Amino acid sequence: MKSVKYKFLKYIGFDTKSDPDSDTNPSTVKQFELAKELENELENLGLKNIKLSDKCYLYATLPANSDKNLPVIGFISHMDTAPDTSGENVKPQIIENYDGNTILLNKKENILLSPEDFPELKKYIGQTLITTDGTTLLGADDKAGVATIMTAVEYLVNHPEIKHGTIKIAFTPDEEIGRGADYFDVDFFGADFAYTVDGGEIGELEYENFNAASLNVTVKGRNVHPGTAKNQMINSINIAHEFHAMLPNIKRPEHTNGYEGFYHLMNISGTVDETKMSYIIRDHNREKFEDMKKHVLAVTDLLNKSHHKEVITVEMKDSYYNMREKIEPVMHIVETAKQAMINADIKPKIKPIRGGTDGSRLSYMGLPCPNIFTGGHNFHGIYEYISLNSMIKAVEVIVNITKIVHDK
């Protein structure tokens, strides 16, 4: 199973950063380069029904080697990396037998990966860590997922004594920009249920995520010379500040945790004439989520009335919903993953995702899809790292899931 290391190091060599400003599908053509490499590997492993779509969705089937009538299981990961940080020319550093001390990522810039800043590093003393060189992200999100699925499939192919039903795998583009499920062909995939392998710390098992919406706010002002502005100027920047101040301070990401939702101001730009703000709105509870959106409309109405004209317009669009609603009727798939971890001597950590995954939308498209760990930390930035030991355990969990489903 240690071949997962070599697969991971190969895959992070592909720059697959997605682009939120692109209107193409996939958002970046370079994602096809990794997809074609994986397509070749799957062919060499002898998988069937391999298909790489023109939208860069890669599907494959590992046929059953058992006569039992078994459910079809799927495993899914995404190939793209986040646009937040460069994913080009990734130069990984391998820290064997980590001693618990600060890791020097980049001597020139004095960039340090320190347990003082990231206390969870202490959990990995004695293990092998893979880090960045402090100039790019690592790409463990989610090439670690891709590597663990590919390694598990290779292991099952090379160990036919392990009996299993039909296994479907898929690798998707553009998950990091919220488009990973846009062109996913659930019918062609043909699984009864699936698991996204896109989580963090070892043991994570998630079947709840945020309800999510985007919010774009436009504030219209009126600019006149400040020397003669009395009762004439309407400063859109000031009104934007009023709007933001009327969203609860305690409902900002930096003040929330667990199941608590938030309003997150992601961008603001403007002049006296016009100011634009973009937010994301999140909450695990659907009723609270709807109340948060109603509050936005109430604030908008109040400010428009107080300024005696429509100075604020808003556009809100739901992005995805909490997959718990779709998973609860088939909780046996969560219990299967939980038992697979226990069988691998891993303590399951069932917790809500403070975000979303392809699995959320896929669950609403008819494919129930909880999320399991890869072992990575500090995704999307230069401090990203992953434990090789955790990746190996993730491979074991995937194999264990197939065993448990067969033996039930």
CA distance 299 to 316: 14
The DSSP result for 130-165, as a single string, is EE--SSS---HHHHHHHHHHHHHHHHHHH-TTS---
Token pair recorded at residue 394: 């993730």
β-bridge mates for residue 312, sequence order: 219
Spot the catalytic one: 154, 175, 204, 396.
175
Kindly tell me the sign of the dihedral angle through the C-alpha atoms of 126, 132, 134, 138: negative
CA distance 34 to 40: 10
Residue located via tokens 């092998």: 128
Is-catalytic flag, 345?
Answer: no
Cis peptide before 63 (omega within 30 of 0): no
Is-catalytic flag, 407?
Answer: no
Side-chain half-sphere exposure of 117, counting CA atoms within 13 A: 10
Spot the catalytic one: 15, 39, 80, 384.
80
Using alpha carbons, list the distances in angstroms from residue 313 to 277, 308, 321: 11, 14, 24
Active site residue ranges? 80, 175
